[in-house]
Structure 1
Amino acid sequence: MQQPFDVLVVDDSIFMRKIISDFISQDPMLRVVGTARNGKEAVEQVKKLQPHAVTMDIEMPEMNGLEALRVIMKESPVAVIMLSSLTQEGASETIKALEWGAVDFVGKPSGSISLDLHKVKTQLLEKLHIAVRMNVNKIGLQRPILPRQPELKPIPQARTTAAAAPSNPSPKAERRSVDRSQAGIGHLVAIGTSTGGPRALHQVLSELPAELAAPVVIVQHMPPNFTRSLAQRLNSISGLKVVEAEEGMPLENGTAYIAPGGSHMAVARNGPGAYRIHLSKEEPRSGHRPSVDVLFESLLPLKELKRHIVIMTGMGSDGAKGMLALKESGAVTTIAESEETCIVYGMPRAAVELKGVMHVLKQQEIAGKLISAIGLSALS
């Protein structure tokens, strides 16, 4: 019989340490090998116990969860799942944690409603089962990306946005002043991703320029509130304008639209050569709302567009059938992230096995492929 996987539980609350430990102990394939009361203890315990996974609270004394995460991923890499409050501030901190090496997160249980506790338990155990089998060597420590500084010489008669501040060794897109409203839509990029997606999106969007001659529509499996924080974070590191999508938003070149958590997102015609966002609360697809397949299927009638479809890291198969249908309907480009860089090689694998993929690329190669396939707008 296989030995259970070891999990370290980190939280400054003795009540929360007990709740989380009890959840984990009920799974025969997992065992709590130790606990820690703050980030400093967590760093020491990871080195000493070498667990397969860690559950990490964010707000703690002495050293908080974010600081501990950065040290652990640098010195003793291990799969870390963050316990996040469901507030806007908690969502913002969680997005940073996902960029800095955490593999996933769950909402922190309230402890007052049994249904809430049951839901959190189910999510935590599912994510731990993925985390303990994960190759954490794929998760290198990433330097935090600073927001762009205001551009010193804005181009006249154009809307002023922010410019990129160099922060990564790799080439990074710079945001310039681009009048997106006057640019015709001829190309469209659609991206679907799940576990590991925020880091993957960070990599791809940070290398796409403001002048990209296409809008980018994105489904990231994530709860409400967190998608807004994700959009804000990505907007601070990309040459593209990145927003959380709203009902009826017109699509513009050089802009990325992230589906809000809890809503399906589709693209609809909005007149000759014009398109808009449509959101709905229809039933989840394959357990997800937003669903990648719902987004991809909405693009099937839009054959006048040159469609470029991307599936990146994530559990399950959401988006695979939609990608195949788009390939068969004339999509110009279909890309799956390679197993080599995927945190979880599930969704891309499903797309490859269905034969809906034209290009299998490493995460760092995807932006370049899109730029070469689409080109840049003349409006800048």
Structure 2
Amino acid sequence: MSATATRGTVVVADDSRLMRRVLSQTLRDSGYDVVGEAEDGDAALQLCRSAKPDVMTLDLAMPGLDGMGVLRTLKRDGLDIPVVVVSAFSPAHGARAVDALAEGAFDLIEKPKVGETLSDFGRQLDEKVFAAAGRSISRRRVGAVNGNGTARVRTPSAPVVPRRDPHARAAAPAVKASPRRTGRPPVVVIATSTGGPRALAQLMPQLPSPLGAGVLMVQHMPPGFTGSLAARLDNDSPLHVVEAQGGERIAPGTALLAPGGSHLHLADAKSVRLGDGDPVGGLRPRADLTIQDVVDRHGGDVLLVVLTGMGNDGLAGARAVKAAGGRILVEAEETCAVYGMPRAIADAGLADAVLPLHDLPAAIVEEVSR
């Protein structure tokens, strides 16, 4: 089968022979062309240079050049290959995985644990690799239009939205008028998924403390990894960033991050609780649930910020925010890793402004000061 007839070409890099076999077979069963396997970072880079895959799956703990070294070398050498990190969880691995995402890795999936079935792992792997392949092939199409190479045809069902004709696309709208709030500072809710750790690493250090009535964040990540993300953001940000454990107070100087594997709810107007309800649309945490709780407790005193991510989590919550008279900012397509969550809200006409990531900090500050 030719590479163009598959869902994309993939290089698998992992120092475990068993894990390479599991990954490769799972990907082939899902319709991908695995064009090479590497047991260390140097071999992974060699395969990337020779095979030029659409995606690479990457273990971070490998002999010789480790996964972080691979990511930095790809960036240094201008090899624009989306990387899906496949990592076991431990405190050390979690911190390293979050560092990899902040360095530019496309997404993260946790390795299956001993005794777990592979069906859920396979579904997640397929979803994340397919999104990464869609971005890679889409960029090659843009390069072909510009005369920089031969286009690869992207599968029509890819979850990454093709870039619109820049001449037909309107400029990002200015902030639209909406009902004035009561004068109370808003609760800021930030929702994101694929590409979120990198976006948050740029956004959070530029936000002041205090900020509004407080900040709640939902980032789609596997259980265990969100603690490392919170610690990394806390180290770099004026706001005190904490992975919520339940019972924390919503405070102007604090940003509470939903833990992977739990929904983030409000216990009352001033404190949060965690919920172990079923995943909604395959997601736990689900941003829609957090947003609805905030609207229920704070009415229109809400500022919703939706960053890069697959799917449409946040859309139902955005409808509730607009109905209550709150405000909504979404990240523009040009700075998103995946223009899914923001686009769902923008296309529904719910966004008060659609802005590139570098313009969002100032817009957020302006909104909470209104």
TM-score normalised according to structure 1 size:
0.80
Deviation of the 1:283 alpha carbon = 2.1
The match for 1:230 is: 229
Residue 46 to residue 251, structure 1, CA distance change in 2 (3 Å) = same
Letter in 2 for 1:311: V
1:284 to 275, 279, 284: 279
Deviation of the 1:87 alpha carbon = 1.5
1:73-123: CA deviations, max 9, x gaps? 23112010111112222111110010111111111234x43x432322221
1:307-340: CA deviations, max 9, x gaps? 1111111111111111122112110x20111111
Deviation of the 1:346 alpha carbon = 0.9
The match for 2:118 is: 117
The match for 1:98 is: 101
Superposed, 1:29-178 pairs within 5 Å as 30-75=32-77, 76-110=79-113, 112-113=114-115, 115-135=116-136
CA distance in structure 2 between the aligned counterparts of 1:210 and 1:125, rounded to whole angstroms: 40
3-state SS of the aligned residue for 1:300?
Answer: helix
Task: Select between 7-16 and 205-214 the one with higher mean Cα deviation.
Answer: 205-214
The match for 1:21 is: 24
CA distance in structure 1 between the aligned counterparts of 2:137 and 2:335, rounded to whole angstroms: 11
1:10-32: CA deviations, max 9, x gaps? 1112222222111112122x111
The match for 1:308 is: 303
Counting helix residues as a fraction of each chain, which structure ranks higher? 2
1:243-298: CA deviations, max 9, x gaps? 0112121111121000111111123435xxxx111221122222211111001101
1:161-205: CA deviations, max 9, x gaps? xxxxxxxxxxxxxxxxxxxxxxx9732100111111111111111
The match for 2:143 is: none
Matched, 1:361 2:361: no
User: Does structure 1 conserve the Cα–Cα contact (< 8 Å) formed by 2:210 and 2:254?
Assistant: no
Residue 62 to residue 136, structure 1, CA distance change in 2 (3 Å) = farther
Letter in 1 for 2:111: K
CA distance in structure 1 between the aligned counterparts of 2:230 and 2:240, rounded to whole angstroms: 9
Deviation of the 1:367 alpha carbon = 1.0
User: Does structure 2 conserve the Cα–Cα contact (< 8 Å) formed by 1:206 and 1:238?
Assistant: yes
The match for 2:255 is: 256
Residue 137 to residue 89, structure 1, CA distance change in 2 (3 Å) = farther
Matched, 1:339 2:330: no
Residue 194 to residue 22, structure 1, CA distance change in 2 (3 Å) = same
Deviation of the 1:356 alpha carbon = 1.6
Letter in 2 for 1:33: V
Task: Select between 98-107 and 116-125 the one with higher mean Cα deviation.
Answer: 116-125
User: Does structure 1 conserve the Cα–Cα contact (< 8 Å) formed by 2:300 and 2:324?
Assistant: no
Superposed, 1:203-222 pairs within 5 Å as 203-222=202-221
Letter in 1 for 2:251: E
User: Does structure 2 conserve the Cα–Cα contact (< 8 Å) formed by 1:79 and 1:136?
Assistant: no
User: Does structure 1 conserve the Cα–Cα contact (< 8 Å) formed by 2:110 and 2:222?
Assistant: no
Residue 13 to residue 214, structure 1, CA distance change in 2 (3 Å) = same
The match for 1:147 is: none
Residue 201 to residue 60, structure 1, CA distance change in 2 (3 Å) = same
Deviation of the 1:137 alpha carbon = 10
1:349 to 315, 318, 343: 343
Quick one: percent identity of the two aligned structures?
A: 36
User: Does structure 2 conserve the Cα–Cα contact (< 8 Å) formed by 1:185 and 1:252?
Assistant: no
- How many residue pairs are counted as aligned between the two chains? 323
User: Does structure 1 conserve the Cα–Cα contact (< 8 Å) formed by 2:263 and 2:276?
Assistant: yes
CA distance in structure 2 between the aligned counterparts of 1:238 and 1:38, rounded to whole angstroms: 34
Deviation of the 1:125 alpha carbon = 1.5
Deviation of the 1:135 alpha carbon = 4.6
The match for 2:146 is: none
Structure 2: 5+ residue stretches without partners: 140-182
CA distance in structure 2 between the aligned counterparts of 1:231 and 1:116, rounded to whole angstroms: 29
User: Does structure 2 conserve the Cα–Cα contact (< 8 Å) formed by 1:219 and 1:290?
Assistant: yes
User: Does structure 2 conserve the Cα–Cα contact (< 8 Å) formed by 1:267 and 1:295?
Assistant: yes
User: Does structure 2 conserve the Cα–Cα contact (< 8 Å) formed by 1:57 and 1:65?
Assistant: yes
CA distance in structure 2 between the aligned counterparts of 1:261 and 1:320, rounded to whole angstroms: 20
3-state SS of the aligned residue for 2:134?
Answer: coil
The match for 1:265 is: 264
3-state SS of the aligned residue for 1:310?
Answer: strand
1:108-156: CA deviations, max 9, x gaps? 234x43x432322221112111111115999xxxxxxxxxxxxxxxxxx
User: Does structure 2 conserve the Cα–Cα contact (< 8 Å) formed by 1:212 and 1:254?
Assistant: yes
Letter in 2 for 1:372: E
Residue 136 to residue 129, structure 1, CA distance change in 2 (3 Å) = closer
CA distance in structure 1 between the aligned counterparts of 2:112 and 2:273, rounded to whole angstroms: 32
Deviation of the 1:210 alpha carbon = 2.2
